[in-house]
Amino acid sequence: MQYDFAAATRHFAAKQGFTTGPHEVTGMIDRNDPIVIVDVRFPTDYRKAHIPGAVNLPKGKWHEAGALSKEKLNVLYCYNQPCHSGCLLGREPQCECAHAPPHE
């Protein structure tokens, strides 16, 4: 098997441009940065626990993307890093988003 280091470098550089971590999001919240935190998990999980101030926009409701902002950074989070729901919503034309790992 031949590993394409240049392709891997491009892939992870592109991914890093649109992802963030819990420390960065905490800083954004603490600084009152203009962000919208969007929880894309199931409503039952959102009701159990979520980042304070987050809005719930689970798959199946993405057509109701009124919770997303054109003026602010939309920070999406899901169940875990490999969860693809946040990535799928981020690919929707109405979404200009950054992705964050789940809040525990």
Domain of 43, CATH number, reads: 3.40.250.10
SS3 11: helix
Beta strands per DSSP E along the chain: 35-39, 55-56, 73-77, 97-100
Contact call for residues 40 and 68 (beta carbons, < 8 A) = no
Q: Per residue in 49-65, pLDDT tens?
A: 999 999 998 877 777 76
pLDDT of residue 16: 66
* Residue indicated by tokens 């964050």: 100
Residue 7 lies in a domain: no
Residue 88 lies in a domain: yes
State the pTM of this model: 0.67
CA pseudo-torsion sign 25, 44, 47, 56: positive
Q: Per residue in 84-95, pLDDT tens?
A: 555 555 555 445
Residue 10 lies in a domain: no
Domain membership of residue 28 as a residue range: 20-100
**What mean pLDDT comes out for the span 27-38?**
93
